Amino acid sequence: MPVVKADAYRHGALEVSRVLEHEGARWLAVSNVDEGVALRESGISARILVMADFLPAERAALLEHNLTPVLHSLDDIAALNALAERNATPVLYHLKIDSGMGRLGTRAEPGAIAQAILAHPWARLEGVMTHFASSANYESGQTGEQQARFDLVCNALQSAGIAPRYLHLSSTIPVAYARRLAWGSMVRPGHAIYGYVSPPRGDAPSRILDVAPALAWKTVVLTVKDIPEGALIGYGGMFRTTRPTRIAVLAAGYADGIPHRLSNRGRVIAGGRFAPIIGAVSMDVTTIDITQSPDLDPGDPVTLLGEAGGLSIDAQQIARLAGTISYSVLCGISARVKRVYI
Ligand SMILES: *Cc1c(COP(=O)(O)O)cnc(C)c1O
C-alpha cells in the first residue's frame, strides 16, 4: 500500500498514483478525505485508505467516494456503525492501535477493543494497523515494545474470533531493514516510493531495499554579474565577498521550497561543479558563487536537487545542511515549481 499523502510527498499524487496503479498497487494510502476524493475524481480506482480520517462531518464524502477510513477510537467504531446502519450498507474500516507512539490510534484494552468490534457489525473490520515511532533507531527498544503491544491486541482479537484480512505495521524503514516480523500482510512505504531510505541509528541489519531518488529539481540562472571584493550580498548583508566574485542569481527561493537555512550554507550544481549559496536565500531568488564556472549564462539550468555531470545532491544532504529531515525538504517543494514527468 504505497503512501501518496501530501501530494505524494510533493511529487504529484495523481501522476504517482496512476503509475503505481499501473504497476499493480491495489491499495493507496492518503492522509485525509480531500486527498482521497481528488484521486477518485481523477479516475483512480485502487482501494484508498484514509489514514487520518477524523471529522464525522466528512464521513458522507468518504462513503460516497468509496474511501476506506482508519478509525482511531472505540467511539469512532460506534459512530461509523450508526452511519452504516442508517444507510443499510456495511462499511469496511481499518483500526489503528496506538501501540506506543502516543499519537493516533486507540489505547483501549484488547478485550474492550474486541467487544467494540463485535458489538458494531455494520462497521466491518478489514484491517488492524499501527505505526512505529523509532523504527530507524536500533539503539532503542521502542519498536520491539510496540510490536509486542500490537501482537497482544491481535491475539486478543483472534481469541474473540475476529480475523481481519490485513495486519499492517511497516512504513519504509521496517521494510528496508528487513524487520520481517513487522511486515504483517501489507506494508505502507512512502519515502521508499520516492527513492529514499533514511539512514538507521545503531546496529542495524543491512538494507535489503535499493532505491534511488525519483525527483530532480532544477531552476535557471536569471542573471550573472561580477562583484568586487568586500561587497555585501543579499538581505542583511549576510555574505561579504573576499575576492572579486562572479555571482549568478537563480530563479528560485524559499517560496519555492529552498530552505532558508541554506543561506550561506547550501550548494547547487551549476556548470558541472558544486557552487555555494552565498548570502540569504530570498523568497524568489538565491545567489550563488560561480567564480569557478564563469561561462554560465542567463537561462542555463542549475540543479538544486538531483544529478548533473556526475555530481549529485539529494534531499538527505540538503536536510543535514538545513537542520531538518529529508521528508520536510521534499514536502517543502512548493506548488509554484512546475512538475515535469519523464
Ligand atoms: C506517512 C506514513 C507512512 C509512510 O511512511 P514512510 O516513512 O514515508 O515510508 C506509513 N504509515 C503511516 C501511518 C504514515 O502516516
One-character DSSP codes across 103-171: SSSB---HHHHHHHHHH-TTEEEEEEE---SSTTBTT-SHHHHHHHHHHHHHHHHHHTT---SEEE---
Please state, rounded to an integer, the average pLDDT across all residues of the chain: 97
CB half-sphere exposure, 129, CA atoms < 13 A: 26
Tell me how far the alpha carbon of residue 314 lies from the centroid of ligand 1, in angstroms: 20
Tell me how far the alpha carbon of residue 263 lies from the centroid of ligand 1, in angstroms: 30
**Is pLDDT of 117 > 90?**
yes
From residue 325, how far is each of 102, 256, 270, 329 by CA, in Å? 21, 17, 24, 7
| Beta carbon of 136 within 6 Å of any ligand 1 atom | no
Q: Residue 75 forms beta bridges with which residues?
A: none
**Is pLDDT of 178 > 80?**
yes
26 exposure class (CB count in 10 Å sphere: 0-12, 13-18, 19+): exposed
| Beta carbon of 175 within 6 Å of any ligand 1 atom | no
| Beta carbon of 171 within 6 Å of any ligand 1 atom | yes
- CA-CA distance, 219 to 83, in Å (whole number)? 50
Tell me how far the alpha carbon of residue 214 lies from the centroid of ligand 1, in angstroms: 17
* pLDDT number for residue 338: 97
- CA-CA distance, 49 to 26, in Å (whole number)? 11
Other Cβ atoms closer than 10 A to 310: 7
Task: Provide the pLDDT confidence category of residue 25 given band limits of 50, 70 and 90.
Answer: very high
55 exposure class (CB count in 10 Å sphere: 0-12, 13-18, 19+): exposed
Q: For a pocket test of ligand 1, which of 131, 167, 207, 328 has the largest count of ligand atoms closer than 8 A to its C-beta?
A: 131
* DSSP-derived secondary structure letter, 94: E
Shortest-distance atom of ligand 1 to CA 31:
15
Task: Provide the pLDDT confidence category of residue 83 given band limits of 50, 70 and 90.
Answer: very high
Task: Tell me the three cell numbers of residue 54.
Answer: 477524523
- CA-CA distance, 129 to 166, in Å (whole number)? 8
The verdict on pTM exceeding 0.85 is: yes
| Beta carbon of 172 within 6 Å of any ligand 1 atom | yes
Task: Provide the pLDDT confidence category of residue 53 given band limits of 50, 70 and 90.
Answer: confident
| Beta carbon of 17 within 6 Å of any ligand 1 atom | no
pLDDT digits (tens, 9 = 90+) for 208-228: 999 999 999 999 999 999 999
Catalytic residues: 5, 235
Shortest-distance atom of ligand 1 to CA 175:
9
Query: 272 and 302 in contact (C-beta within 8 Å)?
Result: no
pLDDT digits (tens, 9 = 90+) for 247-260: 999 999 999 999 99
Residue that has been written with the C-alpha cell 481528488 in this structure: 38
All residues at 6 or more sequence positions from 327 whose CB lies less than 8 Å from its CB, including other chains:
9, 191
Shortest-distance atom of ligand 1 to CA 192:
9
| Beta carbon of 32 within 6 Å of any ligand 1 atom | no
> Which H or E run includes 41?
helix 33-41
Task: Provide the pLDDT confidence category of residue 129 given band limits of 50, 70 and 90.
Answer: very high
Strand 68-71 and strand 91-96: the pairing is: parallel
Give 122-141 as a DSSP string.
Answer: TEEEEEEE---SSTTBTT-S
* pLDDT number for residue 56: 77
Task: Provide the pLDDT confidence category of residue 329 given band limits of 50, 70 and 90.
Answer: very high
Q: With pLDDT > 90 as the criterion, what percentage of the chain qualifies?
A: 98
* DSSP-derived secondary structure letter, 307: E
Tell me how far the alpha carbon of residue 179 lies from the centroid of ligand 1, in angstroms: 15
Query: 222 and 297 in contact (C-beta within 8 Å)?
Result: no
| Beta carbon of 33 within 6 Å of any ligand 1 atom | no
Query: 99 and 149 in contact (C-beta within 8 Å)?
Result: yes
Strand 267-270 and strand 232-233: the pairing is: unpaired
Shortest-distance atom of ligand 1 to CA 171:
9
- CA-CA distance, 262 to 283, in Å (whole number)? 13
